C-alpha cells in the first residue's frame, strides 16, 4: 500500500470540527486508507526528496502532512535504520540517503564556534573587569585556543576531519 503526498482538504461531510483531513494526490483519504495498510509491515512517511521523516508499524501513529506513505516488510528494513534524515525511500526500498559531508561539517563548525563563543564571553568580561579567578583565566585561555583550532578546520576535507577536543 502506498499513498502519494498527503495534503489538507475539506471533505463533503465533516465528522468533527477539530480534525485536519488529509488526502493524497489521487484523492485517497488518509483516515479511510489506514485500514488498507498491513499490520505487519513498517509504514514510512517521506518527503518529496524521498527522505524518511517518520516510521512506525502502527499506521495511526504517523502524521504524514505533506509527505507520502509507503510500507516495507520487516526483513527489508536495513540495520541501523532511523528517521534522522539518513535514510530514504527510492520507491521500492529503504536506502541510505546521500550525505553532504561538507555541509554537515560546515554546520558543525558553526555550531561549535557559536557554543565556544558563548562560553568565552563571560570569561572575557571577568578578565576585563579584573575579577577573573585563576580557574577562569585558565579556562579562557583553553577556550580561546579551542576556538582558534576550530577556526582552522577545513569543512571541505570532510568527512576526514580531526575535530579539536573541547576543554572541560
pLDDT, tens only, 39-62: 999 999 999 999 999 999 999 999
**Pair 64, 106 in one domain:** no
Express each pLDDT in 111-146 by its tens digit. Answer: 999 999 999 999 999 999 999 999 999 999 999 999
Query: pTM for this structure?
Result: 0.62
What CA–CA distance (Å, rounded) separates 72 from 85?
Answer: 18
Tell me 14's DSSP state: -
Residue ending a domain, among 46, 63, 96, is: 96
Give CA angle at 53 (49, 57), nearest 5°: 125
User: Which residue range is the domain that position 122 belongs to?
Assistant: 101-157
Residue ending a domain, among 47, 63, 96, is: 96
What CA–CA distance (Å, rounded) separates 94 from 44?
Answer: 9
Reduce the DSSP state of residue 21 to 3 states and report it: strand
For 15-59, where are the E strands, in sequence order? Answer: 21-23, 42-46, 52-56
Amino acid at each position: 500500500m502506498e499513498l502519494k503526498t498527503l495534503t489538507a482538504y475539506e471533505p463533503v461531510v465533516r465528522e468533527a470540527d477539530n480534525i485536519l483531513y488529509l488526502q493524497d494526490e489521487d484523492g485517497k483519504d488518509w483516515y479511510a486508507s489506514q485500514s488498507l495498510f498491513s499490520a505487519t509491515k513498517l509504514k514510512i512517511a517521506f518527503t518529496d526528496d524521498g527522505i524518511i521523516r517518520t516510521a512506525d508499524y502502527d499506521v495511526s501513529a504517523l502524521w504524514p502532512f505533506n509527505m507520502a506513505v509507503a510500507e516495507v516488510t520487516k526483513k527489508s528494513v536495513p540495520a541501523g535504520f532511523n528517521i534522522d534524515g539518513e535514510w530514504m525511500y527510492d520507491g521500492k526500498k529503504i536506502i541510505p540517503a546521500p550525505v553532504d559531508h561538507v555541509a554537515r561539517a560546515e554546520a558543525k563548525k558553526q555550531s561549535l564556534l557559536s557554543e565556544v563563543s558563548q562560553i568565552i564571553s563571560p570569561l572575557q568580561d571577568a578578565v576585563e573587569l579584573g575579577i577573573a579567578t585563576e580557574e577562569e583565566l585558565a579556562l579562557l585561555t583553553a577556550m580561546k585556543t579551542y576556538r582558534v583550532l576550530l577556526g582552522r578546520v577545513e569543512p571541505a576535507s570532510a568527512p576526514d576531519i580531526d575535530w579539536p577536543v573541547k576543554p572541560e
